[in-house]
Structure 1
């Protein structure tokens, strides 16, 4: 395509906009330097851009919010990056009686705020303020409302996807959760199959299954008016190995017993964040427990107090319990997001789904590595987040999210700033994760206690035999028994392999 015929949305290396787009990703380990970015704002523009790339034989990558933890967008060989970051519209679609959300919409500013303030509803999505909906939803989506209302994809009614058929024809396909929809399998694949596999999602429509009528205020979950938030600090000097065993084990065992969908604690979300050493002694905290409880539930204050007494009040612990606060739901989400979004720099993450508490051996590994001071980083953490509740009411094959009976989601994260420290920081987190799951080949291989990993916390090490010595390949860790069906969908909707990255679903 000549420069004279190039769309204004096309940004090549000589364009002053190029560098900002190249470095827009959240993980500063990676930049994307394709031949061209295409900043698209409509479905028609996506169809045109994909068509141009197919005719030119270009390899395509897709980016919405830019929170990918691996280098899917900047992989060598990517020639065109479709940037969906300006597709941020959120509206009620009266024709479909559903909420339309574009893939570049960011959770707090674009989604939670307008949905809640205008209609009093929400989708049960993530806790980051700046995550884009596009990849988040395709990976399943979870957050502080999931125990009460299920996963984000449990409310996904319809998707619009730009696909490429075997003849190279590019078109926008609308797929729904209705079983008789000829594109139902495509909808299913996009409810947890991960981004960058089947096409380019340009619009999502959300409506809770079984919702009746056309009143927008009755078609999605209604968050509580207020939330009781609590924070408990665990100073490092008081968090020795026995204390770590008590804290981590107690938190996990509480979730084993209190994660049924009909539990009064389905309306409680807690995040136990275990922290690595901070070089500043005044900031060197061992762990932080943050809890959000629906303030409108019967006995909310007592339920929260009982939870804190059990988890933080165990013998051997020396917690600093801050006074609880009652805030609006929207403010509670912002606070969670501010905490999560504070980690900025070069990053590596790993994950796990837990069916049971960490064992004492695993708690010891957590303590050993988080108290390590043999490498230079900004921060390191392990976050154990509440899961379960209504998530478990959906069958593991009803959506592409197979992990439905876990009670905790676990995120391992290491953050640093200097590229010269990449090797030592990557090696440290790899050894750390491997030590925690040493008995199952260095990864959370599915068994009675754990259930694989979370596709939105992408980790290419799971496909590397040096770091995954288990009998579970990477696709089993992410998708379990749903993988063959995902392969079939990929073969049907991307037979030419136009889309893809290192952890893409492989065609049969």
Structure 2
């Protein structure tokens, strides 16, 4: 562990640095070795380096010999380890990237596009403590914990508390909250980041700051401005939400030949206008529309609501299942009932598939003829799936500038996914071509000027920073091409915050926020 004298000495050095220090990889590795205990630092020469690197990677696209990987991985178990990594990086010109769950869709938390400029990773997976306070309805959770671990920890303390995060249990808390984070209770409670009430962060000077220490603008930026730009958040304080003792769920399939196009067209009007206690999302795949719903109440209310607002869907009492909130988490994560809650603690194994994802926001209902023509895309080789998540409710009642996430007024979000298990070039081209082709086809019907995208669904097709470029002064204009789709008018404020808290752009990757000079 770093000594206090070392931390204070490096603090003085880092304050004096206004531009990036010349890169000295040998000095950086020596600095880490001098101030961290054995078993924390893994260099590319370490026998365990490959397994440590792959532990959190979820996408086989980035497990190749050609992928530029970190010079060093620091397996932090304490905030002081993060401080040491940052201060050694500042002193020796080696940038640091934080890694929590490894679900960054472009792998920017653990890989680079350009091998010419070395970087290090601070892996937070071992920092996963969860402390739930039922009395104050709050929880402190470390960035390395997964959403599944968080949900499990809450449920173990109270059956009447929950958290409005995402569906994927292996997603890291740090990355999810950093991008805003939406889930099945967002229409009732808003984004996951809306419920962050405090945080502890290591800044670009290696200081440990809480909400009061970082200030209003810095705290605003970390709750949706994307990970890896404003420091390394090591823990978050969350406001939990009340959940009923019983919730209701259903999943119904409506194939194309059973009016799926008509139902999708009507769904666009119905789903965003439903009561806040219910969400009705759609998964479109093959020639089928799968309607999935969570209702914060019993089946009688759920079926009645569907019958009143969307009778065409034909939901009956037989379709509806009652369960506890934590059982509903398992239901949507693993598609079934009777699953043990301990499944939420499984962080997954080595990556087993390749995938590409993109996102869109829809503000005006898409015509029926477009939905009808879209079915042909799901007959192509390499076809993937679409997920449609409706907004409205609480989402539409919060200002788009309340946090960096600006897309709250959309009708719904569209997620495009392509998955494949064959590492051949032909398979990759088919699947990548499918997702990019359908995304292009949808351009006339989604948000414009700019066409929106979710930073929780990173997409390098939008553009990238030149990671090795030392010209900080021009980086803002270059980054607007991808930054404004993610953040719209909030991008400028994020860049201004960056210029205050990290003017030398130490926390930098191919889609990190640049300083605005």
Residues 137 and 161, structure 2, Cα contact 8 Å, conserved in 1 = no
- Does 2:198 align with 1:185? no
Q: Structure 1: how far apart are the matches of 2:456 and 2:442?
A: 20
Residue 151 of structure 2 is matched in structure 1 by 112
Higher helix share: 2
- Does 2:206 align with 1:170? yes
How much has 1:299 moved relative to structure 2? Answer: 3.0
Residues 303 and 316, structure 2, Cα contact 8 Å, conserved in 1 = no
Q: Structure 2: how far apart are the matches of 1:358 and 1:302?
A: 27
- Does 2:246 align with 1:226? yes
Give the alignment's Cα RMSD to 1 decimal: 2.9
Residue 13 of structure 1 is matched in structure 2 by 44
How much has 1:364 moved relative to structure 2? Answer: 3.8
Task: State TM-score, norm by structure 2.
Answer: 0.80
Q: Structure 1: how far apart are the matches of 2:310 and 2:436?
A: 32
Residues 273 and 393, structure 2, Cα contact 8 Å, conserved in 1 = no
Q: 1:175 to 1:246 in 2, by over 3 A?
A: same
How much has 1:182 moved relative to structure 2? Answer: 6.2
Aligned length: 446
Residues 401 and 490, structure 2, Cα contact 8 Å, conserved in 1 = yes
Residues 161 and 199, structure 1, Cα contact 8 Å, conserved in 2 = yes
Structure 2 unaligned residues grouped into runs of 5+: 1-28, 337-346, 465-479
Q: Structure 2: how far apart are the matches of 1:81 and 1:368?
A: 43
Structure 1 unaligned residues grouped into runs of 5+: 208-219, 259-264, 277-284, 314-318, 465-471
Pick one of 246, 269, 276 that aligns with 1:266. Answer: 276
Q: 1:94 to 1:171 in 2, by over 3 A?
A: farther
Q: Structure 2: how far apart are the matches of 1:256 and 1:111?
A: 28
Residues 33 and 41, structure 2, Cα contact 8 Å, conserved in 1 = no
Alignment of 1:22-421 (within 5 A): 22-23=53-54, 24-31=56-63, 33-72=69-108, 73-75=110-112, 76=114, 77-92=117-132, 98-108=138-148, 110-119=149-158, 120-164=160-204, 169-175=205-211, 183-207=215-239, 220-235=240-255, 238=257, 243-258=259-274, 265-276=275-286, 286-296=288-298, 299-307=301-309, 309-310=311-312, 312-313=313-314, 323-339=319-335, 345-373=353-381, 375=382, 380-420=384-424, 421=427
How much has 1:410 moved relative to structure 2? Answer: 1.4
How much has 1:275 moved relative to structure 2? Answer: 0.5
Residues 11 and 36, structure 1, Cα contact 8 Å, conserved in 2 = yes
Q: Secondary structure at the match of 1:53?
A: helix
Residues 384 and 408, structure 1, Cα contact 8 Å, conserved in 2 = yes
Residues 233 and 320, structure 1, Cα contact 8 Å, conserved in 2 = no
Task: State TM-score, norm by structure 1.
Answer: 0.81
- Does 2:432 align with 1:422? no
Alignment of 1:458-497 (within 5 A): 458-463=458-463, 473-497=481-505
1:244-301 deviation per Cα after TM superposition (whole angstroms, max 9, x unaligned) = 431221111112433xxxxxx211122210003xxxxxxxx62211111122498333
1:168-207 deviation per Cα after TM superposition (whole angstroms, max 9, x unaligned) = x32112125xxxx761101100111111111101111123
Q: Structure 2: how far apart are the matches of 1:430 and 1:321?
A: 40
Q: Structure 2: how far apart are the matches of 1:345 and 1:385?
A: 24
Q: Structure 1: how far apart are the matches of 2:82 and 2:511?
A: 23
Q: 1:114 to 1:71 in 2, by over 3 A?
A: closer
Residues 147 and 387, structure 1, Cα contact 8 Å, conserved in 2 = yes
Q: Structure 2: how far apart are the matches of 1:482 and 1:499?
A: 19
Q: 1:233 to 1:345 in 2, by over 3 A?
A: same
